[in-house]
């Protein structure tokens, strides 16, 4: 179907506005990171740049005001979680749970207003299934994964589940492959040992972002 006249410029305008929002939120997001990583913390410019890219690309791909707001909500928390996990190997409940709850609420509102209740039910099922799968992996490999990874998976499962089971599976596999590839490279370079713990959150977040951008 041919897009209506003016849709491309409007999409570009929304993407640029979302990117600017990411820049403006950079200092706030950095302050949240520093709450868990004091005295260290990433440069404000780096956090703002990451937020600008993530927000802008999501705005260019995700349709609908409420779904976009939900994805941006998750992305804001995800950016903070990624930096925190790299710095201190933690995914705090105060970040993972509100991230999932906010996305679930906004997608729920979107499903009610658009009559897509079945789509929401599928997203919720995917979220619970992914969180359950990660909880099982935590029990099998407590040295490699932690409870925070399972709680993060709840929100990420909602995001990918909004686009179907295949997207959730692809996002999960992408996260595992990214984490495994990163660990293999560090092992090869002698930067880590076989029993060292690496943050898994950034790989999960990156895999989810890639799948959402492709599926939206």
Give the residue from 216, 180, 182 showing the smallest Cα distance to 72: 216
Q: Which domain holds residue 67?
A: 7-215
158 within domain boundaries? yes
2 within domain boundaries? no
pLDDT digits (tens, 9 = 90+) for 88-134: 999 999 999 999 999 999 999 999 999 999 999 999 999 999 999 99
User: 62 CB contacts (<8 Å, ≥6 apart)?
Assistant: 68, 71, 212, 216
1 within domain boundaries? no
Give the residue from 105, 106, 77, 104 showing the smallest Cα distance to 91: 77
pLDDT digits (tens, 9 = 90+) for 175-184: 999 988 877 8
What's the number of domains the chain is made of? 1
72 within domain boundaries? yes
d(CA 10, CA 21): 16
Q: What is the pLDDT of residue 7?
A: 43
Q: What is the mean pLDDT of residues 144-154?
A: 92
208 within domain boundaries? yes
């Amino acid at each position: 179907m041919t897009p209506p006249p003016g849709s491309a410029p409007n999409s570009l305008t929304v993407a640029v506005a979302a990117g600017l929002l990411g820049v403006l939120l950079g200092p706030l997001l950095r302050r949240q990171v520093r709450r868990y990583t004091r005295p260290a913390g990433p440069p404000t410019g780096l956090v703002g740049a990451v937020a600008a890219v993530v927000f802008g690309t999501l705005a260019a791909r995700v349709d609908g005001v409420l779904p976009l707001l939900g994805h941006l909500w998750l992305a804001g928390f995800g950016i903070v979680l990624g930096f925190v996990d790299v710095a201190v190997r933690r995914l705090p409940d105060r970040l993972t749970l509100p991230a999932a709850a906010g996305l679930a609420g906004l997608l729920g509102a979107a499903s009610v207003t658009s009559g897509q209740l079945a789509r929401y039910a599928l997203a919720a099922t995917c979220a619970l299934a992914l969180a359950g799968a990660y909880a099982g992996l935590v029990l099998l490999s407590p040295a490699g994964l932690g409870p925070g990874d399972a709680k993060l998976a709840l929100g990420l499962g909602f995001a990918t589940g909004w686009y179907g089971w295949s997207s959730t599976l692809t996002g999960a596999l992408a996260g595992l492959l990214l984490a495994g590839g990163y660990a293999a490279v560090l092992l090869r370079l002698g930067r880590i040992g076989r029993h060292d713990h690496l943050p898994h959150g950034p790989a999960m977040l990156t895999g989810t972002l890639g799948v959402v951008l492709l599926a939206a």
